[in-house]
Chain A
Amino acid sequence: MAVGDLSFHVRKGEVMGLLGPNGAGKSTTLMMLTGFLPPSSGSATVAGISLDDTLGIRRQIGYLPENAPSYTDLDVQSHLRFVGRMHGLPVGTLQERVAAVAGLCGLQEVLPRRIDELSKGYRQRVGLAASMLHDPQCLILDEPITGLDPNQIVEVRRLIRQIGEHKTVLLSSHVLSEVQAACDRIMIIDQGRLRAIGTPAELAGQMRGGSVLRLRLKGETQQMERQLQARLPDVSIHSDGTDKPDVLILQHADPEAQLAEEAFRAAVAADAVILEMVPESATLEDVFRRMTGGRA
């Protein structure tokens, strides 16, 4: 089974990010929500419509499948017109809508070009434009940002944010920073199961199970370590992974442990100088790595 025991709710006017390592079941989840793949058990409603009414759902959603497939031997204009006609847009408004989404996605200059002549970034935008043509209540985007260059990423992210103010957006990604920047809430899935859900800040907060302090020292580093061990028996001390002997990371299971205070006293006793002292918080990266077993 690709996906099981997965339950969530996306609010209107919210951008929800579906995050997980490759093969976690992101695309499968989205395909089920679009009615492309029927679930073997369970139920869902999209825009208030049950999954059983797949035609009804397909009228309400705009879906960008993974890799943004489009009819590459058509020109952009024809492709968009085709998608619009399939949505039953009347001829009068069709031209208007094509122009509107082309403007929104920055496609005006390439409208008469064949899609197979376009770069990956443009194709992605063609797919995005096609998914918005009929002004859907709900946008489902499978990896919308993957494969874009940094400028385009900023643009598409802004576009998604803008749409997300009025519509419901559910997007998937395996790149953390994308989701963090574009989404109001994030859910992390792995092996088809929901591991965590919440705003980026909430998720990072869930991880802060203790306190972490980063120190940069000058002088008696080893003496300092001994002093610290004596004062705080439960502290774990390690380097920051690089070869810098003067950097120590202190970790304590108790968030209330007076790490900074004790570090100061230990430094005085050990005759070491603290050059830098930074309390560290768990990043979303940590959450992701821990939730998905570090396989990301």
Chain B
Amino acid sequence: MKRVLAITWKEWRQTIDTPMGYVVAVAFLLASGFFFGNTLFLAGQADMRSYFHMLPLLFMFFIPALTMRLLAEERHSGTFELLATLPVREVEIVAGKYLAVMLQLLLMLVLTLVYPASLSTLGNVDGGAVAASYLGALLLAGVYAAICLFASSLTRNAVVAYVLGFAMLLFFFLIGQASPEFSSAMQDWLTLVNPVDRYQSMTRGVITLGDVIFMLMLALAFTALTKFQLERRKWS
């Protein structure tokens, strides 16, 4: 655990010492502020439903940017050789990096708490639904981060890692968009496996244990894939 935290700390230092982390965070807050302000000022609704509805789309653009260099850059600059010859297991490397990106995502979500806070001064906010939505957003971000971290482990090039991560997230998004075209049996099945659908049901204030476990398992599955990918050099 000490080593996991050491890696998290290192990633954190690299994020706050370089403009990249700030640029992504600020861009995310600007974009999310736009969607939030849209409903509030243009539609005149003191409501966060459409904001949370748009959030997966924002995640799709911003989470690959947060994760793209985490593993690709290590390989590219040769530091992976340094890291992998320190007394640390691959699973600890993945856990440390995943924890670092989740902390950053958590911080970004915490900063958006000003929206419900400012709304509550204007009207009645459904506190329960907002809390459920935030939990759902955090879980969805966790799934997305795991997918994009895996994408970063597949290549030495951070830009390729971004595109790969984005493409995988786009796949889930498009399935969700296309589902009305499928047969109803297919639709039921797709709703079952699509994390975005699970998230959307959470934003309606319905949290089921099944949804939470599904999201956690999906994140776990992709972090496990990442670990195997890091160990792959040992198989050849």
Does B233 contact A87, Cβ atoms closer than 8 Å? no
> What is the 8 Å Cβ interface bit string for chain A, positions 24-41, against chain B (1 contact, 0 not)?
000000010011111000
Instruction: Kindly report which residue of chain A lies nearest to residue B83, judged by CB atoms.
Output: A86
Does A65 contact B6, Cβ atoms closer than 8 Å? no
Does A87 contact B81, Cβ atoms closer than 8 Å? no
Q: How far is the CB of B104 from chain A (nearest CB, A)?
A: 16
* Given contacts A65-B81, A88-B87, A38 and B234 within 8 Å (CB-CB): yes
Q: How far is the CB of A88 from chain B (nearest CB, A)?
A: 6
Q: How far is the CB of A296 from chain B (nearest CB, A)?
A: 25
Does A88 contact B3, Cβ atoms closer than 8 Å? yes
* Given contacts A82-B10, A85-B6, A69 and B88 within 8 Å (CB-CB): no
Does B14 contact A86, Cβ atoms closer than 8 Å? no
B79 on the interface (CB 8 Å rule)?
Answer: yes
A252 on the interface (CB 8 Å rule)?
Answer: no
Inside 8 A of B85's CB, which chain A residues have their CB? 34-36, 58, 61, 63, 65
Instruction: Kindly report which residue of chain B lies nearest to residue A66, judged by CB atoms.
Output: B78
Range, interface on chain B: 20 to 34
Interface positions, chain B 66-101, Cβ under 8 Å from A, are 77-79, 81-89
Q: How far is the CB of A130 from chain B (nearest CB, A)?
A: 7
Give how many A residues have a beta carbon under 8 Å from the other chain's beta carbons: 30
B228 on the interface (CB 8 Å rule)?
Answer: no
Does B82 contact A73, Cβ atoms closer than 8 Å? no
B9 on the interface (CB 8 Å rule)?
Answer: yes
Inside 8 A of B181's CB, which chain A residues have their CB? none
Does B86 contact A83, Cβ atoms closer than 8 Å? yes
Within the assembled complex, what's the spacing in Å between the Cα atoms of A177 and B50?
Answer: 70
Inside 8 A of B14's CB, which chain A residues have their CB? 71, 73-74
With a 10 A CB-CB cut-off, give which of B18, B85, B234 has the most chain A CB atoms. Answer: B85
With a 10 A CB-CB cut-off, give which of B17, B78, B82, B89 has the most chain A CB atoms. Answer: B82
A152 on the interface (CB 8 Å rule)?
Answer: no
Does A59 contact B10, Cβ atoms closer than 8 Å? no
Does A71 contact B79, Cβ atoms closer than 8 Å? yes
Inside 8 A of A38's CB, which chain B residues have their CB? 234
Interface positions, chain B 38-77, Cβ under 8 Å from A, are 77
Inside 8 A of B86's CB, which chain A residues have their CB? 58, 83, 86-87
Does A36 contact B81, Cβ atoms closer than 8 Å? yes
Within the assembled complex, what's the spacing in Å between the Cα atoms of A38 and B235?
Answer: 8
Does B10 contact A71, Cβ atoms closer than 8 Å? yes
Residue among B13, B82, B84 making CB contact with A78, cutoff 8 Å: B13
> What is the 8 Å Cβ interface bit string for chain A, positions 55-73, against chain B (1 contact, 0 not)?
1001101010111011111
Instruction: Kindly report which residue of chain B lies nearest to residue A58, judged by CB atoms.
Output: B87
Q: How far is the CB of A168 from chain B (nearest CB, A)?
A: 16
Does B77 contact A72, Cβ atoms closer than 8 Å? yes
Within the assembled complex, what's the spacing in Å between the Cα atoms of A34 and B89?
Answer: 14
Within the assembled complex, what's the spacing in Å between the Cα atoms of A69 and B18?
Answer: 18
Within the assembled complex, what's the spacing in Å between the Cα atoms of A88 and B92?
Answer: 13
Does A130 contact B82, Cβ atoms closer than 8 Å? yes
Residue among B7, B18, B79, B84 making CB contact with A36, cutoff 8 Å: B84
Does B3 contact A86, Cβ atoms closer than 8 Å? yes
Q: How far is the CB of A68 from chain B (nearest CB, A)?
A: 9
Q: How far is the CB of B209 from chain A (nearest CB, A)?
A: 37
Inside 8 A of A130's CB, which chain B residues have their CB? 82
Supplied contacts A59-B87, A71-B79, A83-B86, 20 more A-B pairs, CB within 8 Å: A34-B85, A36-B81, A37-B234, A58-B85, A58-B88, A69-B82, A70-B79, A70-B82, A71-B10, A74-B13, A74-B14, A74-B17, A78-B10, A85-B2, A85-B9, A86-B3, A86-B7, A88-B87, A114-B17, A127-B82
26 contacts between A and B (CB under 8 A): A34-B85, A35-B85, A36-B81, A36-B233, A38-B234, A55-B89, A58-B88, A63-B85, A65-B78, A65-B81, A65-B85, A69-B77, A69-B79, A71-B10, A71-B14, A74-B10, A74-B13, A78-B10, A82-B6, A82-B9, A85-B2, A85-B3, A85-B9, A86-B86, A86-B87, A88-B2
Nearest 7 A-B pairs (CB), nearest first? A69-B78, A85-B6, A65-B81, A86-B86, A58-B87, A59-B87, A69-B79
